[in-house]
Amino acid sequence: MILYFSATGNSEYVAKNIAYINNDQTVDMSFYLKSNQIMDLTSDSPYLVVCPIYISTLPTIIIELLKKSKLNGNKNIYFIMTCAGSGVSGADAFIRPLVKDMGLIYRGVEHLSMPQNYLMFFTVKNKEENDIKMQEAISKIPALADKIKNNLDFNMDKVDFMHKISIKPVIWMFDKFFIKPKKFYIKDGCISCSICVNSCPLNNIKLIDGKPIWGKSCVHCTACINRCPKKVIEYGKKTLDKNRYVAIKFKEN
């Protein structure tokens, strides 16, 4: 069973592609986040969690969801993390104790380098560059699916001690002082389509008088800003004049 969290579609594409190859099923973790429910699931096949890297590891909201969840049946669990960089950094150090507490067997974590979507810090590439990077990622998916199907471990490299102890305070400071919704605003041209409302995994956006208003909960997933069809959502001055990005949808052959 493949559990995925995806704001702009990268992780969703990976999850659905592997599900197609391995004849498995997918579960969108955003449903449980939006409805404030725990996951109580049973799977005959190994579990696979697919989600983006947030500051070197799993998004905090996914860590908390997994901690509360009941994953029954098969005890093996794999992780694939999508990112714009070249590795999973400190993710392994966070995933190992999480999996142990869940009573599951950790089979490793791999990364897939995919197009950048975090506009608050980085620049989104143009369509041609994103298409090339997406195709490179797609070409690597069958090998990962094959490892799961044949019960082979993913990468099991451990994080060095200094990185392990330094990354936790960095994540804490980033979550506490940088990830804020107050800088979101809309320019002229909003059509009140509610795509931003529906795409927010924390139900943090409401339409008031036809315009989106952000609440206090936010993880900077960038779903609202990247999926706005009119490109009128901005985050302070950091996103002005930047490209937006939404991944292609996976289609079965």
Q: Angle at which helices 10-22 and 127-149 pack, to 10 degrees?
A: 40
Per-residue pLDDT tens over the stretch 137-190? 999 999 999 999 999 999 766 665 655 666 677 777 777 778 888 999 999 999
Fold classification of 180-235 (topology level): Alpha-Beta Plaits (3.30.70)
What pLDDT, on the 0 to 100 scale, is given for residue 191? Answer: 97
Q: For the whole model, what pTM was predicted?
A: 0.93
User: For residues 223 and 6, what is the distance between their CA atoms, to the nearest angstrom?
Assistant: 9
What pLDDT, on the 0 to 100 scale, is given for residue 159? Answer: 62
Task: For the chain, list residues with pLDDT below 50.
Answer: none
Alpha-helical regions (H) of the chain: 10-22, 29-35, 60-68, 91-102, 127-149, 161-173, 195-199, 223-227
Residue closest to 51 by CA, chosen among 82, 8, 74: 82
What pLDDT, on the 0 to 100 scale, is given for residue 179? Answer: 84
The pair of structure tokens assigned to 19 is 């599900």
Residue closest to 158 by CA, chosen among 104, 94, 100: 94
User: For residues 34 and 235, what is the distance between their CA atoms, to the nearest angstrom?
Assistant: 23
What pLDDT, on the 0 to 100 scale, is given for residue 241? Answer: 93
Query: CATH topology of 2-161 equal to that of 180-235?
Result: no
User: For residues 192 and 141, what is the distance between their CA atoms, to the nearest angstrom?
Assistant: 37
Residue closest to 121 by CA, chosen among 74, 93, 84: 84
Residue closest to 220 by CA, chosen among 239, 206, 207: 239
Residue closest to 59 by CA, chosen among 117, 7, 115: 7
Domain ranges of the chain: 2-161, 180-235
The pair of structure tokens assigned to 180 is 């804020």
What pLDDT, on the 0 to 100 scale, is given for residue 252? Answer: 81
Residue identified by tokens 């909960």 is: 217
Fold classification of 2-161 (topology level): Rossmann fold (3.40.50)
Q: What's the farthest any 2 CA atoms get from each other in the chain?
A: 54
Beta strands 105-113 and 70-73, pairing class: unpaired
Beta strands 40-43 and 184-186, pairing class: unpaired
Residue closest to 178 by CA, chosen among 249, 120, 137, 243: 120
